[in-house]
Amino acid sequence: MRAAIVAKPEERIAFYEAPAGKKVIVAVTGLVLIGYVVAHMLGNLQIFLGRERINAYAELLHRSGPLLWAARLVLLLAVALHIVFTLQLWWSKRRARPVRYVKKVDVPAAYAARTMILTGPLIAAFVIFHVLHLTTGQAGLPFEPLDVYDNVVRGFRIWYVSLAYMVAVSLVGVHVWHGLWSMLHTLGLDDERYRPALERISHAVGVLTALGYLSIPVAVLTGLIGGGVE
């Protein structure tokens, strides 16, 4: 039998310090974050099923205790690694080519790729505000513990809160679109035979994610939901 090849510790460290290793970490952590973003969106969409349903969902998460905190820690770790290695890759690329191309040919999702380094920090800032608004109630907006329905409705009735949310989730959609495509490319899953389909799937996931989140403030502003909230 052929002996299994096991990488030495120094070889594993060298891999993760190399651009290829960093790209793999960014891809894997990006997949974790995309999974969370989609799951969170599906949970939020329960607001269309009424006050009792969305508040029961919030209560279930609140009662999860250790499981909820474990998930939060995993997400925080994924976010930290994703940000750190993305910045390292961006800086390495910038140092390697300080002079811009005379003529640059765009690739699919090129606009999203160029804005990833900008959309990331903006999304991070929004997430902090979003947690303060709907989780801790420390954003200076109407808040009642575990009354998600009323908190969402009263918050999104403030036009500038809805506007900030809609801009942020649109950026999330762009980030998901390019992030998913980049992940497939980094992990070698973009076979030429399936590349057009995978590009369309990545685009569709990004668009549907943005639309799912956008539907909530739009529904509040148009009176589709929240009619009984003072």
CB 177 within 8 A of CB 109: yes
CATH architecture of 22-100+107-221: Up-down Bundle (1.20)
Taking only the tens place, the pLDDT of each residue in 120-179 is 788 888 889 988 998 888 988 989 888 999 999 999 999 999 999 999 999 999 888 888
pTM of this structure: 0.81
Q: What is the mean pLDDT of the chain?
A: 82
Taking only the tens place, the pLDDT of each residue in 78-115 is 989 988 888 888 787 777 665 554 444 444 444 445 56
Specify the higher pLDDT residue, 65 or 55.
Answer: 55
Specify the higher pLDDT residue, 192 or 169.
Answer: 169
Taking only the tens place, the pLDDT of each residue in 37-48 is 999 999 999 999
- The pLDDT > 70 percentage for the chain reads 83
Question: Mean pLDDT over residues 178-190, rounded?
Answer: 79
Q: pLDDT at residue 51 above 90?
A: yes
- The pLDDT > 90 percentage for the chain reads 37
Spell out the residues 6+ positions from residue 215 whose beta carbon is closer than 8 angstroms to its own.
45, 48
